[in-house]
Amino acid sequence: MPDVTPEPAPSAALPALPRRIAHLDMDAFFASVELLRYPQLKGLPVVIGGGRRQVDEALMARQGERALRFIPVEEFPLLKDYTGRGVITTATYAARQFGVGSAMGMMKAAKLCPQAIVLPVDFDEIRRFSRAFKSTIAEIAPLMQDRGIDEVYIDFTDVPGGQRDGGRALARLIQRAIFEKTALTCSIGVAPNKLLAKMASEFDKPNGISVIHEADLQSCIWPLGVRKINGIGPKSGDRLAALGIQTIGELAAQDRQFLVKQFGKASGAWMHEVAWGRDDSPVVTESEPVSMSRETTFERDLHAVRDKAELGEIFTRLCEQLAGDLQRKGYVAKTIGIKLRYDDFRIATRDQTAQAYTADSRTIRKIAGLCLKRVPLDQRLRLLGVRASALVKAGEAPVHESKRPVAQANAAQTAIESIANYSLF
């Protein structure tokens, strides 16, 4: 929508303050929260993750939750006894020294550090701390953008004192307030925009503050690897490396047209911009969810025929959980989809847009079932997921029906694909 707001008269306008944007990152958030709970584990190799029944039961079998904090160290479950398929969410420094780290499979980690103590992720507790640190920030600087459970952007520009010392004074104030409230530390980067602030927050970890200005681009940013840019992941990193581009400075030195040719119009131009430290995206305080989903990896790979009953139960449960999420958060969805991961890790998705919006578990189950009929099921499955998108707030759903009955468009393809599907669902 075009912005037709008239410019304020020049005489009324105050001189614009330079943008100061902060990125705040909690230090080792999950591990720190767990250590507050179990102080007896400080300094020991601890791995957090898995989050599966094995660990939960091992812990809960002790003496009940109230007494957990007094468990003697030698009674905590060890990584070598873990039997699930989870991955590590985070590991303490003592555990990292053995080579274990985030996203590593628990089984692989158990080989590297069998004596590590393993704890399940307590998401309720994590969320409690997340709300606490975010509300502490919002009281001081209300223009705050959520970036996941342990990160936020904050616009310092118009906060009283936000310009002092380039933002360092306000950053220090926020750091102290969070520590007083939660006993947790964080690292903050302050810069002219979100892109640079995000990079700056990594400069001085843990419990650090780093402030950068436009003039620091060449000295502070250009020597960094391209992977430090938020948005350049493993694939783009590899492709850039293949072109001989390792650092952000080398990226900045590339001809814009060359990058556009290599990475496409949008990505190529974007890479050139960010390499020069340019980013004018605003700090956004509110945003509506685009989709909600539930998925689960099975304890063992399941086959659509032999494990039909088990699979059907899991499928129904996922639909019920998703419906519960939608209802609790007050949304209805028009598009329902499924996601499968086969035993060879290939992923397939199907979705279908319905005539009406819904948050009803049986309706979701029905549409998701139609999606499942359109996907090959002759191979073992490792994961099943259900997704709701095209969301609107419940009560605000348009009463008009979808312009086009999508089911018709899908009919031909459905007929072809379902041949292999044994009409299971």
Partner DNA sequence: TCTGGGGTCCTAGGACCC
Comparing CB distances to DNA, the nearer of 26 and 159 is: 26
* Spatial distance between the Cα atoms of 345 and 16, rounded to a whole number of angstroms: 52
Please report whether residue 230 would count as binding DNA according to CB under 7 A: yes
* Spatial distance between the Cα atoms of 369 and 311, rounded to a whole number of angstroms: 12
Please report whether residue 236 would count as binding DNA according to CB under 7 A: yes
Please report whether residue 316 would count as binding DNA according to CB under 7 A: no
Token digits for 302?
A: 């399941």
- State the helix-helix crossing angle for 265-275 and 256-263, rounded to 10 degrees: 140
Q: Which of 189, 194, 351, 377 binds DNA (CB under 7 A)?
A: 351
Residue ranges in 13-52 that form contacts with DNA under rule CB under 7 A: none
Return the number of other C-beta atoms located less than 10 Å from residue 57's C-beta: 11
Please report whether residue 337 would count as binding DNA according to CB under 7 A: yes
* Spatial distance between the Cα atoms of 216 and 223, rounded to a whole number of angstroms: 11
Q: How far is the CB of 85 from DNA (least distance, A)?
A: 4
Q: Which of 60, 409, 411, 415 binds DNA (CB under 7 A)?
A: 409
Q: Which of 147, 308, 317, 373 binds DNA (CB under 7 A)?
A: 147
* Spatial distance between the Cα atoms of 256 and 150, rounded to a whole number of angstroms: 35
Please report whether residue 385 would count as binding DNA according to CB under 7 A: yes
Q: Which of 112, 149, 169, 177 binds DNA (CB under 7 A)?
A: 149
* Spatial distance between the Cα atoms of 387 and 406, rounded to a whole number of angstroms: 18
Please report whether residue 335 would count as binding DNA according to CB under 7 A: yes
Comparing CB distances to DNA, the nearer of 63 and 349 is: 349
Q: Which of 89, 157, 254, 361 binds DNA (CB under 7 A)?
A: 89
Q: CB under 8 Å to 265, separation ≥6 — which residues?
A: none
Please report whether residue 146 would count as binding DNA according to CB under 7 A: no
* Spatial distance between the Cα atoms of 103 and 239, rounded to a whole number of angstroms: 23
| Stretch binding DNA (CB under 7 A), from 57-65, 175-183, 249-257, 334-342 | 334-342
Please report whether residue 363 would count as binding DNA according to CB under 7 A: no
| Stretch binding DNA (CB under 7 A), from 154-162, 208-216, 252-260, 402-410 | 402-410
Active-site pick, 7, 65, 151, 180: 151
| Stretch binding DNA (CB under 7 A), from 54-62, 101-109, 158-166, 185-193 | 101-109
Q: Mark whether 310 is an active-site residue.
A: no
| Stretch binding DNA (CB under 7 A), from 65-73, 80-88, 184-192, 302-310 | 80-88
Q: How far is the CB of 126 from DNA (least distance, A)?
A: 11
| Stretch binding DNA (CB under 7 A), from 185-193, 212-220, 284-292, 305-313 | 284-292
Per CB under 7 A, residues contacting DNA are: 83, 85-87, 89, 103, 105-108, 147-151, 198, 229-237, 264-267, 287, 289-297, 325, 334-335, 337, 345, 347-353, 371, 374, 382-383, 385, 390, 402-404, 406, 408-410, 413
